[in-house]
């Protein structure tokens, strides 16, 4: 089998039927044992192959203990692969963790059709003879630097998405002013207006919680470590602005600062359970140069 791009496809999933699953339908085995969703099986029906003991079969077939299952998925990537630099912090057959630079858009949209992180990942996978598609699990704003988790195949994406609440992320931010407390919790509902990209605090918004710890105090600004108990768009930026300490350089929720081209917000840490092994993975990314240089110049 060859894809249109010339790649020799490898199965994105391989598994065996256990004795306790003898005489089950293969779709039941995949759902109960391997976390396949109905949507993912539909994708395979439309654009892939299901093999049991090397023979193509339907999802309704009944299988026997120790039957071997292989699944292929063929589809054109919606993102144009590009040869872009990637700062890869972790990689295996299932996932990628990439340290995104500030200023790079994550997904193609509107005027950003090339040069995005998704373009770069697709190009990287294609060069390594893998399917040039990735499934980004978390998002970062254009101006935010730091770690992004991407699945390499749709099953890993389904598993990680189901466990999104168990993915721990930490951020570093330099904020305006001097916070009174050394640590705290911000619980304020965030509302999305249809008229603006700017989020606001409003009673009709979605419940949102941000935790912070003061790492270092500078003259007129403070370095914070933050973690999220919810994942709203712009959550950290909105919450810090709401308590009177916007992120330095955040023109949307604060004000412009001389010498800063973006908000000083960096996703420095991520941990997640590996979608195949269940082992807890921990990945860190140091502060980028612009953030470090700004801190060095603070009294």
Q: Name, in order, each residue with C-beta under 8 angstroms of 114's C-beta and a sequence gap of 6 or more.
A: 80, 82, 108
Residue 164's closest CA among 260, 70, 275, 4? 275
Note the pLDDT of residue 9. 62
What is the percent of the chain with per-residue pLDDT over 70, rounded to a whole number? Answer: 96
pLDDT > 90? residue 60? yes
pLDDT band at 76 (very low <50, low <70, confident <90, very high): low
CA atoms of 127 and 196, how far apart (whole Å): 39
Q: Name, in order, each residue with C-beta under 8 angstroms of 258's C-beta and a sequence gap of 6 or more.
A: none
CA atoms of 41 and 24, how far apart (whole Å): 16
**How many C-alpha atoms does 39 have within 13 Å on its Cβ side?**
5
Tell me the per-residue pLDDT of 103-150, one tens digit each, with 9 for 90 and over.
999 988 878 888 999 999 999 998 987 877 778 999 999 999 999 999
Higher pLDDT, 275 or 265: 265
Would you name the residues annotated as active-site residues? 141
Residue 16's closest CA among 72, 69, 70? 69
SS (H, E, C) 277-293: CCCEEEEECCCCHHHHH
Residue 93's closest CA among 5, 181, 156? 156
Extended beta strands in 177-252, E state: 183-187, 190-192, 199-201, 209-218, 221-228
pLDDT > 80? residue 290? yes
Note the pLDDT of residue 1. 41
Domains of the chain and any CATH numbers: 13-73 (3.10.290.10), 168-267 (3.30.2350.10)
Q: Output the six-digit token pair for 173.
A: 């931010």
CA atoms of 135 and 161, how far apart (whole Å): 10
The CA-CA-CA angle for residues 102, 117, 155, to 5°, reads 130
Q: Output the six-digit token pair for 251.
A: 């023109």
Does this model's pTM top 0.75? My answer is: yes
Pick from 8-22, 53-67, 204-218: least confident? 8-22
The highest-confidence range among 11-25, 69-83, 197-211, 237-251, by mean pLDDT, is 237-251
CA distances (Å), origin 174, targets 43, 170, 222, 256, 291: 44, 14, 6, 14, 9
Note the pLDDT of residue 263. 96
Pick from 92-96, 131-135, 185-189: least confident? 131-135
Note the pLDDT of residue 8. 43
In this structure, the strands spanning 265-273 and 145-151 are parallel
Mean pLDDT across the chain: 90
């Amino acid at each position: 089998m060859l894809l249109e791009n010339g790649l020799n496809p490898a199965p994105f999933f391989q598994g065996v039927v256990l004795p306790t699953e003898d005489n089950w339908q293969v779709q039941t085995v995949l759902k109960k044992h391997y976390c396949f969703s109905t949507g993912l099986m539909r994708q395979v029906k439309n654009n892939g192959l299901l093999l049991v003991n090397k023979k193509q079969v339907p999802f309704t077939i009944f299988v026997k203990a120790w039957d071997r299952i292989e699944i292929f998925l063929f589809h054109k990537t919606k993102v144009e692969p590009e040869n872009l630099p990637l700062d890869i912090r972790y990689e295996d057959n299932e996932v990628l963790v990439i340290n995104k630079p500030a200023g790079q858009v994550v997904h193609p949209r509107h005027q950003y059709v090339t040069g995005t992180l998704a373009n770069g990942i697709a190009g990287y996978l294609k060069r390594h003879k893998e399917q040039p598609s990735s499934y980004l699990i978390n998002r970062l704003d254009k101006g935010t630097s730091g770690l992004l988790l991407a699945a390499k195949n749709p099953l890993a994406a389904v598993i990680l998405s189901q466990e999104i609440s168990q993915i721990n992320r930490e951020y570093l931010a330099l904020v305006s002013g001097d916070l009174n407390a050394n640590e705290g919790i911000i619980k304020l509902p965030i509302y999305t207006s249809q008229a603006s990209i700017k989020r606001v605090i409003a009673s009709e918004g979605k419940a949102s919680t941000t935790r912070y710890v003061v790492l270092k105090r500078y003259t007129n600004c403070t370095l914070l470590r933050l973690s999220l108990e919810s994942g709203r768009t712009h959550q950290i930026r909105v919450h810090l602005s709401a308590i009177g300490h916007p992120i330095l350089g955040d023109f949307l929720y604060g004000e412009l600062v001389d010498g800063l081209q973006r908000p000083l917000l960096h996703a420095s840490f991520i941990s997640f359970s590996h979608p195949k092994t269940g082992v807890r993975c921990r990945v860190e990314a140091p502060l980028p140069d612009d953030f470090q240089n700004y801190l060095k110049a603070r009294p």
